[in-house]
A and B are shown apart, each in its own frame.
Chain A
């Protein structure tokens, strides 16, 4: 009887170990080249048959590497006023730590481009919206700067422009009094180029990011998410983000 009990315990332990190993095993090696797709014709609309997504392999994301953050600031021409708490940031590195073991993980977090975006739900003017291909954007023409969306976003992904702006990038017009966030580099994606963070991650980092169309079976991201365990942050909220993580 006691032997049976021990056996049961042993089996539980084995199950736990197996589960942990599966979770920790860095199975995915995102060596895929960062060229996602062909450019969409200029005069065509974004199609709902496309779902742009991003897969981040946290096993390959170095704690001290900030290539994606720097690339984003350069691409979107986000100035720094020396106030990290309120400076605009579309992407940031977040440290995860397991207090019991001291094991840490570093991962980039940006707008998660939810299928059910809470920011769009609460926006009183319709400025926060989801494009047909799943990219969540702020239409600054109609944003009144109320910042409800910043409160609603479970990922703390949005920033607010507190100062009058000059020298904006033509593809990222931004002004005082508007909320802003990661656009998944929509200007590049429409032109058939991967987002700036993904490009930088492959050029300067360890290639931890994979961009593509989650509905296109030919895209590497679709094949990888079908083959390996990936997760969404706060999946329990049922926002269904287009950004997926492996290894957390």
Chain B
């Protein structure tokens, strides 16, 4: 009887601890051709890249779009059962897959949208130089009291 109990306990412990032997989780497949760096490097340095870019964009206006959060989302976003990209509340979100495993909370999505922007065709503004079209004209018809 004691032996059975010990065996059961051992099995339970092994069962519950099983995920920790599984190694780091696999990231969901991304849609882009190539990431900015190798997976090992991305795993180590993505936060540094994002942080550096964030300050450069915000304070200096440098808008190199290749290595921003928006670019991450465009390639890595995971679709849910309804075919729409999942939010950060889903454990399928590509950030959460690793961050849950590493027990590191990710705060980006308190402000940033966790879903990529749907691709849309934006009407381009006319490409004119200011001097061509922005000549001030004088209104000859007064509107105020005479």
Which A residues form the contact surface with B (CB < 8 A)? Answer: 21, 24-38, 40, 42-46, 59, 129, 131-133, 137, 139-141, 164-170, 173-176, 178, 186, 190, 192-194, 210, 212, 216, 218-221, 223-224, 227, 247
- List B contacts of A132 (CB < 8 A): 60-61
Chain B contributes a number of interface residues (CB within 8 A of A) equal to 37
Most buried by A among B126, B138, B144: B144
Are A139 and B58 in contact, CB atoms less than 8 angstroms apart? yes
Are B113 and A168 in contact, CB atoms less than 8 angstroms apart? yes
Are B136 and A227 in contact, CB atoms less than 8 angstroms apart? yes
Q: Mark B82-126, 1 if CB is under 8 A from A, else 0.
A: 000001000000000000000000000011110011000000011
Identify 30 residue pairs between A and B in the complex whose beta-carbon atoms are under 8 Å apart, listed by A's number. Answer: A24-B145, A26-B139, A26-B143, A26-B144, A28-B136, A30-B136, A32-B136, A35-B128, A35-B130, A35-B134, A38-B129, A42-B63, A42-B64, A42-B65, A44-B61, A46-B60, A141-B54, A165-B111, A166-B113, A173-B112, A175-B110, A176-B110, A178-B111, A190-B63, A192-B125, A212-B130, A216-B130, A220-B134, A223-B135, A223-B136
A115–B130 CA distance with the chains assembled, in angstroms: 24
- List B contacts of A220 (CB < 8 A): 130, 134-136
A30–B135 CA distance with the chains assembled, in angstroms: 9
Are A32 and B113 in contact, CB atoms less than 8 angstroms apart? no
Are A137 and B130 in contact, CB atoms less than 8 angstroms apart? no
A21–B143 CA distance with the chains assembled, in angstroms: 11
Are B61 and A43 in contact, CB atoms less than 8 angstroms apart? no
Are B70 and A29 in contact, CB atoms less than 8 angstroms apart? no
| New contact pairs (5) apart from A34-B125, A42-B64, A168-B112, CB-CB < 8 Å | A32-B136, A40-B61, A44-B62, A194-B125, A212-B134
A68–B129 CA distance with the chains assembled, in angstroms: 24
From residue A181, how far is it (CB to closest CB) to chain B in Å? 14
A164–B107 CA distance with the chains assembled, in angstroms: 13
Are B138 and A218 in contact, CB atoms less than 8 angstroms apart? no
Residue B41 at the chain A interface, CB threshold 8 Å:
no
> From DSSP, what is the main secondary structure of chain A's interface residues?
loop
Are A35 and B65 in contact, CB atoms less than 8 angstroms apart? no
Are A170 and B113 in contact, CB atoms less than 8 angstroms apart? yes
Residue B59 at the chain A interface, CB threshold 8 Å:
yes
Are A35 and B110 in contact, CB atoms less than 8 angstroms apart? no
Option from A27, A137, A190 in Cβ contact (under 8 Å) with B139:
A27
Residue B131 at the chain A interface, CB threshold 8 Å:
yes
From residue B51, how far is it (CB to closest CB) to chain A in Å? 9
Among residues of A, the one whose C-beta sits closest to the C-beta of B88 is A166
From residue B77, how far is it (CB to closest CB) to chain A in Å? 12
Are B111 and A35 in contact, CB atoms less than 8 angstroms apart? no
Are B65 and A137 in contact, CB atoms less than 8 angstroms apart? no
- List B contacts of A216 (CB < 8 A): 130
From residue B130, how far is it (CB to closest CB) to chain A in Å? 5
